[in-house]
Structure 1
Amino acid sequence: MKQNYNFCAGPSMIPNVVLKQVQEELLNWNNSGRSVMELSHRSPEFASIAESSENTLRELMSIPDNYHVLYCHGGGSGQFSAIPLNLIEKSQSADYVVSGHWSELAAAEASKYCHVNVIDIRHNVEGKDALLSANDWQLSDNASYLFVCPNETISGLEIHDLPQTDKPIIADMSSSILSRPLDVAKYGVIYAGAQKNIGPAGLTLVIVRDDLLDKVKRTVPAIFDYKTLVEKSSMVNTPPTFAWYIAGLVFNWLKNIGGIEVIYNTNLEKAKLLYEAIDQSSLFINNVHSDNRSIMNVVFNLENKEITHQFIERADNAGFYALKGHQSVGGIRASIYNAMPLAGVQSLVQFMKDFEKNMGTQ
């Protein structure tokens, strides 16, 4: 089978070495005579999987002891509700930094459960899409917490700084977790849908500081109640065990290749290569200011938008999958998460150059 590359924003690529291990173990995990999908979540066998997964993640991210790691249902969007339900009373307010589509949705959902102060940081610099520096965010004095989405997958915008605040910072890191070094202690809650840098869809990772448990008097559904999830070791009901297992394998893969510092350097190299190819092209255009370009989701357009469909079709035929931009904005989007090898970006860049050359001769 020829080498193909999946540039989908999610569900995204999973490292080949992980997929091969899953394939080898699928029918008979650890000589148990059963597939890992058939193991009871209450069994000693699955307990060993869960413990190993959490321990490796804690090591990779240097998660302090006063933080809990939860494996949850509901995707990142489920946390749009879980965050205010767990952290704030309906009469209180929270600051929501809006930098794109997903933070907009998070703010809208939170407004069902509390007062939301929207801080829209999007602006234009020299004709390019950009974000205000954290020093310019208009934070509220009475906010119970500050919400941010550091990386917006649809617009390809990335926040690179945080404000000085004594409020807990809540971060949706679905598309940026494990992609770069991170000081967990700066955050109150970090959450991430698994389907970008962790594993298959269906699992949501939540890292929550101990002092933020049991913060409200309101009734919280048990499936979203952080305190209950901590007490039940993320097993209020049957968790997404197969996704949990694969997440552990991905964590091990990341550890074995050298950890987050190593993958960060690779991610920077991939992004630099792709952005340079776009900037040097007369056919491809990126409209994000260099200060806020995402290293995970590279969005761009063609100068002649009428041939966008040709580019996508030819790319797909050549084994470069899911390059079509989000339906709300169109264009092209190359998601180059951790599992995307440097060779994949190098091959895409060469394809782009060949496409541009061929278009110029037609």
Structure 2
Amino acid sequence: MSNFTPNRRHVLAGIGATLAMPALISRSKAAELTLRLHHFLPAVSPMHKAFFEPWAKELSEASNGAIEVQIFPAMQLGGKPPQLADQAKTGIADIVWALPTYTPGRFLVAETMGLPFLNTTAEKTSVAVHKLMDEFGGNEFEGTKPLAFWSHAGGKMHMRDEPVRTAADLAGKKIRSPNAGMGELLVALGSDPVFFPVTDMVLGLSSGVIDGCCLPYEVVPAFKLQELTKFSSEAAPGARGLYANTNVLLMNQERYEGLSDDLRGVIDANSGIELSRRIGKTFDEFEEVGREVVKKQGNEIVEIPAEEIAKLAEAAKPVYANWEAKLNEAGHDGAAILARANALLDQGA
């Protein structure tokens, strides 16, 4: 995409040296392992071009050509985005990019960081998510091997006809909610939340089914949402973002365990918390790119003042209480998980 190209070199330079690489496998070989990577965004999306393609190349180079990653964007292997985690578990794909929020209530610990105001920068929040999952996630993704957890930058509200400047402006609006927690908050503020995957966003906005949507800027260019909305509202500087969904890169467990030691070593060296940090950092870069696209379109960017953010945060307190109860019912220590999530964010992870 023309809007992304001028920044792509900068993004790639930022991520290229971040992850430590293992020594190259000494023997020269043609690809002996082909991994199919499946995700839901189009091939023009920043994540596809600036992360998945370089990462696939790095795995190939680190294995001296033994690992080949074939990338299938836009659900080309079939199914819907909510089915991606199961596709990794059953082996339909070897690796998937999945959003726990697309299957509400199934991955409760991972979903926790999608609650309102549980995010700072994408990089810091991604590290916090990874640590939280290491400490409390247990077997939440049983049957798969999580390679990374990450978060996008704090979500914004993109509106068709009227901006959101205050909490009161949300009353009566139909807004695409990104997850259950934000949906509860929107209800408390008098909105009518609608939930569907980001891939259905264009139809929802163009048909008038929704008045607006909660999304980070980075998603905007891939779907040309800047042409379907006129206003984007963001939290005042220094405040936590409105929300941020947890993302996860999952590998089929049997596929991972069946690798030779050297190939498994390549995967291990190119996954884990440093990969989470790296992806989060790229999402911070993507956010700036998307924001510039919105500005170039001539849309108005609205800053929600601190006193209005405080009203939203106050309205979110029952959302946290309800989520703590859900975690407890599932056998977790809800209070400990929420306290740890906030502590990690306050510490900068």
* TM-score (norm. length: structure 1): 0.28
* TM-score (norm. length: structure 2): 0.29
Instruction: Select the structure that is richer in helix.
Output: 2
